[in-house]
Amino acid sequence: MKSNCNLILLVATTLLFSSYTIAQRTQKPPLHAKHWMAITGKPLAATAGSRIFQNGGNAVDAACAMLAATCTMWDVLSWGGETQALIYNPKTKKVISINAMGVAPSGATAAFFKSKGYEFPPEYGPLAATTPGTPGGLCHMLAEYGTKSLQEILAPAMEMATGYPIDAQTANSIERQKNWIKQWPYSKKVLLPHLGEKREAPEAGEIFVQSDLLNTLTKMVEAEKQALKKGASRKAAIMAAYDRFYKGDIADELVRGCQEQGGLITKADLANWKPIEEEPMQVNYKGIDVYKMQQWTQGPSMLQALNILENFDLKSMGYNSPSYIHTIYQAMSMAFADRDFYYGDPYFEPKEPMQGLLSKEYAKQRAALINPIQNDTLIGPGDPYPFEGKTNPYAELLKKRFAPDGKNDNRNFAPAHDTGGVAMVEELYQDRLWRGTTTVEAADKEGWIVSITPSGGWIPACIAGNTGVGMSQRMQSFVLDSTLNPFNVVVPGKRPRVTLTPALAMKDGKPYLCFGVQGGDTQDQNLLQFFLNMAEFGMTVQQATETANINTNQLWLSLGGNKIDDRKPRAGNILLSDKTPASVQEKLRSMGYKMSFEERTSGPINAIYFDWKHGSFWGGSSNHGEDYGISW
């Protein structure tokens, strides 16, 4: 009798949720445009993109201007961080991937960090820094696919560096993290203008001046101008600015300032680094081609989850019904278990088994393991090697790997690099939930589309000498023990496996969606659900950004903490919206889930939908945080 009642409850809940959201009102209106669209994490940065569009630039030009502006605003990233981009080229009708992730510097070995007592590289400071990637990535994208000069693209950021009214979110973040910032003399000089006063950070609305950064950007523009005077092409002149940053006097000061504070970056590290243009990863989900970055990001985990979920009738389950939540939780946990063990830099040995991981046959095998009525708290990595016709060389290593034991329940949805060890109250939680990285989405009527998820150098950042450039903290995403991941052990010159993951989708040979989100390990979880909201449940792009998601915490954290115990999975833990109906909670509890609840269940999602029926763009931007779009 009890089982029949449960079945009736499940059916009733499914029917309720299957009819949900189609007519749902949104808190923010969608954007509409015919000519261009610019969406990013800060209103001033969106304005920078709109200025470039209004001056005749294409979507790549506008995206680069937005990237430069967000880097100058500090809260979510700075100029020493990293940039990941997907670009749709309407001339070739292909999606390309820009890998502008910095690398581990000379001397950054597992033995080095272990000798200092670390179980992961540190979260903050000069030893957390990879080589800067964003300046090089911006120059490469602009030179190859833009139309404007670097001077034009950097103009908004340079205006801001002369002084802009700082927002409360960033100013308060600086104040909270000032004890970290005071450890680094160049950070203290820039970020704490009221040193010795009760409030040492800038106040909200105060004109925040960055003279050192302005000088660095001015030097880059000067290099471009000098090259043009000598008859160089637009592209060559932009790359002259690139060379001044990575090989010239900017590099000299960056290296000096880094090493003075105990960092490892050398002049050779900067000179030898370069951005790489790559083929993106891609799977087809029910007629839609979804593109992500390669396995040095977590992007393929979303593709793996889509392959698994293609074996289920998600629409009939109903949006956020118990069966839907359970199914996507299991699929995401499986995909992340593979991510945690098999993903790494493809330019280093060993080679990751991506052919097997992204095969439909492997996904079917994984899908068959999902118990429809019970949560599996022991989900671990699968074995993709047979689907490449190979034998897994790490079968014994998998047996030794740390298994989720459910004893570490200190996982919080807020990305761990934003927690700062402070007790979470609601206001603080919301602020940190909205931070972490940002996204840049841009499109134009000529067909150029750009999706960027840049990050690194967030507050508290260690500034490299008198450059004004905050160094990345991405070294912490390496592991020091091959038992955790034999593909992601730190080695000089290697890229860490990062969480940053822009997305593009094509349908019927035409652009369908351009989308991204902030939020550490939750990024591909939230993007997966955003995509399904549109592809399976017919939501508008704005509805899909605002509706509630779930998160699995059954994964190894990529960020935060120097000890194994800081990073362990929380087996069976699920984050739900605090508006989740009691009937859904009851059903999930009976399936073995440990539930936590928050008002917000996703970092801000930004997206552009291409409406081919009407020849227009739709823009969506989450209803919380500062993310903002402008269109025409």
Write the DSSP string, 213-229.
Answer: HHHHHHHHHHHHHHHHH
Whether residue 200 is predicted with pLDDT greater than 90 in this model: the reply is yes
Cα separations in angstroms, 348 against 411, 496, 577: 31, 11, 41
pLDDT tens profile 497-519: 999 999 999 999 999 999 999 98
What DSSP letter does each residue of 452-520 carry, written as one string?
E--B--PSS--B-GGG-PBBP-GGGGSBS-TTT-TT-B--TTPPP-B----EEEEETTEEEEEEEE--G
Task: Please write the tens of the pLDDT for every residue from 233-283.
Answer: 999 999 999 999 999 999 999 999 999 999 999 999 999 999 999 999 999
SS3 316: helix
Q: Which range, of 27-31, 83-87, 313-317, 624-628, averages the lowest pLDDT?
A: 624-628
Q: CA nearest 68: which of 131, 175, 125, 149? A: 149
Q: Which residue has the tokens 């800038």?
A: 202
Confidence of residue 436 (pLDDT cuts 50, 70, 90): low
Identify the band that residue 431 occupies on the pLDDT scale cut at 50, 70 and 90: very low
- The confidence band for 204, taking pLDDT boundaries of 50, 70 and 90, is very high
Distance between CA atoms of residues 511 and 91, nearest Å? 13
Identity (one letter) of the amino acid at 3? S
pLDDT score for 329: 98
SS (H, E, C) 25-57: CCCCCCEEECCEEEEECCHHHHHHHHHHHHCCC
pLDDT at 217 over 60: yes
**How confident is the model at residue 184, as a pLDDT?**
98
Enter the DSSP assignment of 418.
Answer: G
- pLDDT category at 24 given cuts 50, 70, 90 is confident
Average pLDDT for the chain: 91
The residue whose two tokens read 């610019």 is: 38
Q: Which of 179, 112, 162, 90 is nearest to 444 (CA)?
A: 90
pLDDT tier for residue 84 given thresholds of 50, 70 and 90: very high
Alpha carbon distance 498, 344 (integer Å): 9
- The neighbouring-strand residues paired with 610 are 617
Tokens at 163, concatenated: 């002084």
**Which of 335, 381, 352 lies closest to 294, judged by CA?**
352
Alpha helices (H) in 248-297, listed in sequence order: 249-260, 267-272
Contact 343, 362 (CB under 8 A): no
Cα first-last separation, the chain = 60
Planar angle of CA 526, 477, 363, nearest 5 degrees: 50
Residue pointed to by tokens 């690194």: 456
- Of 413, 565, 540, 553, the C-alpha closest to 484 is 565
- Give the side-chain half-sphere CA count within 13 A for 415: 30
Query: Token pair for residue 535?
Result: 């592809």
Q: What's the token pair of residue 627?
A: 């993310």
Count CA within 13 A, CB hemisphere, residue 554. Answer: 30
DSSP 451: E
Number of H helices, E strands in the chain: 24, 19
**603/455 Cα distance (integer angstroms):** 14
Give me 324's structure tokens.
Answer: 């839907």
Q: Which residue, 486, 489, 458, 485, is CA-closest to 474?
A: 458
* Distance from C-alpha of 338 to C-alpha of 382, rounded to nearest angstrom: 7
Q: What mean pLDDT is predicted for residues 37-64? A: 97
φ, ψ (nearest 5 deg) of residue 259: -70, -35
Residue pair 178/201 in contact by the 8 Å Cβ criterion: yes
Q: 66-98: buried (b, 16+ CB within 10 Å) or exposed (e) per residue?
A: bbbbbbbbbbbbbbbbbbbbbbbeeeeeebbbb
Give the tens place of pLDDT for each residue, 372-381. 999 999 899 9
Phi, psi of 155 (to 5 degrees): -55, -50
Q: Return the H-helix or E-strand segment holding 251.
A: helix 249-260
Q: Report which of 160, 161, 202, 210 is spatially closest to residue 178, judged by C-alpha positions.
A: 202
Which H or E run contains 88? strand 83-89
Residue 232: CB partners within 8 Å, gap ≥ 6? 240
Q: Which of 123, 71, 74, 82 is nearest to 417 (CA)?
A: 123
Using 50, 70 and 90 to split pLDDT, how confident is the model at 401?
low
Question: 32 near 4, Cβ under 8 Å?
Answer: no
**Using CA atoms, how far apart are residues 620 and 27, in angstroms rounded to an integer?**
11
539-588 confidence digits (pLDDT tens):
999 999 999 999 999 999 999 888 888 888 888 999 999 999 999 999 99
Tokens of 477: 């995403």
- N residues, the chain: 632
Q: Which residue has the higher pLDDT, 26 or 150?
A: 150
Q: Tell me the percentage of the chain whose pLDDT exceeds 70.
A: 91
**Alpha-carbon gap, residue 94 to 509, rounded angstroms:** 10
**What percent of the chain has a predicted confidence (pLDDT) above 90?**
83
Within 10 Å of residue 188's Cβ, how many Cβ atoms? Answer: 16
Identity of residue 617: F
Q: Would you say 480 and 118 are in contact if contact means Cβ atoms under 8 Å apart?
A: yes
The packing angle between helices 211-229 and 249-260, to 10°, is 150
Q: What is the DSSP letter of 351?
A: P
How far is C-alpha 630 from the geometric centre of its chain's CA atoms?
22
pLDDT of the residue at 75: 75
Return the pLDDT at 324.
98
Task: Report d(CA 22, CA 44) in Å as an integer.
Answer: 33
